[in-house]
Amino acid sequence: MAIATNTALQAKTISTSFTVNDLEQSMRFYEGLGFGVGEKWEENGAVVGVMMHAGDVEIGLNQDDWKKGRDRIKGLGMGVYIGTEQDIDQLAARARDAGITLQADPHDTPWGTRAFQVRDPDGFVLTISSDT
Protein backbone atom coordinates (compact mmCIF):
# COMPACT_ATOMS: atom_id res chain seq x y z
CA MET A 1 0.00 0.00 0.00
CA ALA A 2 1.39 3.39 -0.99
CA ILE A 3 1.62 6.16 1.60
CA ALA A 4 0.44 9.60 0.46
CA THR A 5 3.21 12.10 1.19
CA ASN A 6 2.37 14.85 -1.27
CA THR A 7 -0.92 16.00 0.21
CA ALA A 8 -2.54 19.42 0.08
CA LEU A 9 -2.46 19.70 3.87
CA GLN A 10 0.94 19.28 5.54
CA ALA A 11 -0.13 19.15 9.21
CA LYS A 12 2.42 18.91 12.03
CA THR A 13 0.20 18.45 15.10
CA ILE A 14 -3.32 17.48 16.06
CA SER A 15 -5.29 18.28 19.17
CA THR A 16 -8.58 16.79 20.22
CA SER A 17 -11.35 17.93 22.51
CA PHE A 18 -13.67 15.73 24.56
CA THR A 19 -16.98 16.69 26.12
CA VAL A 20 -17.03 15.07 29.56
CA ASN A 21 -19.61 14.37 32.26
CA ASP A 22 -17.44 15.35 35.23
CA LEU A 23 -14.62 17.74 34.41
CA GLU A 24 -12.82 17.35 37.76
CA GLN A 25 -12.87 13.53 37.51
CA SER A 26 -11.54 13.68 33.94
CA MET A 27 -8.78 16.10 34.92
CA ARG A 28 -7.65 13.71 37.70
CA PHE A 29 -7.65 10.80 35.23
CA TYR A 30 -5.47 12.63 32.70
CA GLU A 31 -3.15 13.89 35.44
CA GLY A 32 -2.82 10.23 36.51
CA LEU A 33 -1.63 9.43 32.99
CA GLY A 34 0.98 12.17 33.27
CA PHE A 35 -0.78 15.12 31.63
CA GLY A 36 -0.65 18.57 33.19
CA VAL A 37 -3.38 21.20 33.28
CA GLY A 38 -2.76 24.12 30.96
CA GLU A 39 -5.30 26.76 30.07
CA LYS A 40 -8.62 26.89 31.93
CA TRP A 41 -11.91 28.44 30.85
CA GLU A 42 -14.49 29.68 33.33
CA GLU A 43 -18.11 30.75 33.14
CA ASN A 44 -19.80 32.39 36.11
CA GLY A 45 -16.87 31.41 38.33
CA ALA A 46 -16.94 27.71 37.41
CA VAL A 47 -14.28 25.93 35.35
CA VAL A 48 -15.99 24.63 32.20
CA GLY A 49 -12.95 23.60 30.14
CA VAL A 50 -9.24 22.91 30.28
CA MET A 51 -6.38 21.99 27.98
CA MET A 52 -4.40 19.00 29.23
CA HIS A 53 -0.77 18.93 28.03
CA ALA A 54 1.74 16.09 27.73
CA GLY A 55 4.82 16.98 25.69
CA ASP A 56 3.52 18.26 22.34
CA VAL A 57 0.11 16.60 22.78
CA GLU A 58 -2.98 18.53 23.88
CA ILE A 59 -6.37 17.17 24.85
CA GLY A 60 -9.16 19.62 25.55
CA LEU A 61 -11.74 18.66 28.17
CA ASN A 62 -15.07 20.48 28.21
CA GLN A 63 -17.79 20.07 30.82
CA ASP A 64 -20.98 18.83 29.19
CA ASP A 65 -23.72 21.46 29.35
CA TRP A 66 -26.31 18.67 29.00
CA LYS A 67 -28.13 20.45 26.13
CA LYS A 68 -28.02 17.18 24.15
CA GLY A 69 -29.32 15.15 27.10
CA ARG A 70 -27.70 13.50 30.11
CA ASP A 71 -27.83 10.07 28.49
CA ARG A 72 -25.64 11.05 25.52
CA ILE A 73 -23.03 8.37 24.82
CA LYS A 74 -19.46 9.62 24.65
CA GLY A 75 -16.28 7.99 23.39
CA LEU A 76 -18.04 5.40 21.24
CA GLY A 77 -16.18 4.46 18.07
CA MET A 78 -13.19 6.68 18.71
CA GLY A 79 -9.62 5.86 19.64
CA VAL A 80 -6.67 8.13 20.36
CA TYR A 81 -3.08 6.96 19.85
CA ILE A 82 -0.34 8.75 21.76
CA GLY A 83 3.25 8.02 20.77
CA THR A 84 6.19 8.48 23.12
CA GLU A 85 9.87 7.63 23.43
CA GLN A 86 9.40 6.93 27.15
CA ASP A 87 9.36 3.49 28.77
CA ILE A 88 5.84 2.08 28.23
CA ASP A 89 6.02 -0.26 31.23
CA GLN A 90 6.97 2.61 33.55
CA LEU A 91 4.14 4.78 32.20
CA ALA A 92 1.65 1.94 32.67
CA ALA A 93 2.88 1.44 36.25
CA ARG A 94 2.45 5.18 36.91
CA ALA A 95 -1.11 5.00 35.59
CA ARG A 96 -1.89 1.98 37.79
CA ASP A 97 -0.37 3.73 40.82
CA ALA A 98 -2.74 6.65 40.11
CA GLY A 99 -5.69 4.25 40.30
CA ILE A 100 -6.25 3.90 36.56
CA THR A 101 -7.42 0.49 35.34
CA LEU A 102 -5.61 -0.63 32.21
CA GLN A 103 -7.80 -1.97 29.41
CA ALA A 104 -4.74 -3.70 27.94
CA ASP A 105 -1.50 -4.30 29.83
CA PRO A 106 1.81 -3.33 28.22
CA HIS A 107 2.43 -5.63 25.28
CA ASP A 108 4.52 -5.90 22.13
CA THR A 109 2.51 -5.15 19.00
CA PRO A 110 2.82 -7.00 15.67
CA TRP A 111 4.17 -3.79 14.08
CA GLY A 112 7.10 -3.51 16.49
CA THR A 113 5.94 -1.09 19.17
CA ARG A 114 5.09 -1.57 22.84
CA ALA A 115 1.73 -0.26 24.04
CA PHE A 116 -0.94 -0.25 26.72
CA GLN A 117 -4.51 0.95 26.63
CA VAL A 118 -6.82 2.83 29.00
CA ARG A 119 -10.43 4.03 28.88
CA ASP A 120 -11.14 7.45 30.38
CA PRO A 121 -14.18 8.07 32.62
CA ASP A 122 -16.35 8.93 29.59
CA GLY A 123 -15.34 5.94 27.48
CA PHE A 124 -12.68 7.53 25.28
CA VAL A 125 -10.01 4.89 24.58
CA LEU A 126 -6.36 5.92 24.59
CA THR A 127 -3.47 3.77 23.45
CA ILE A 128 -0.07 4.87 24.76
CA SER A 129 2.58 3.45 22.45
CA SER A 130 6.30 3.54 21.89
CA ASP A 131 7.38 5.27 18.70
CA THR A 132 8.49 2.85 16.00
Q: What is the pTM of this model?
A: 0.89
At residue 7, the pLDDT reads 87
Fold of 16-66+74-130: 2,3-Dihydroxybiphenyl 1,2-Dioxygenase; domain 1 (3.10.180)
- Domains of the chain: which residue ranges? 16-66+74-130
DSSP 45: T
CA–CA gap between residue 99 and residue 21 (Å, rounded): 19
Those residues with Cβ within 8 angstroms of residue 77's Cβ, 6 or more apart along the chain or in another chain: none
At residue 132, the pLDDT reads 58
CA–CA gap between residue 43 and residue 111 (Å, rounded): 45
Residue range 46-72: average pLDDT? 94
Q: What percent of the chain has pLDDT over 70?
A: 98
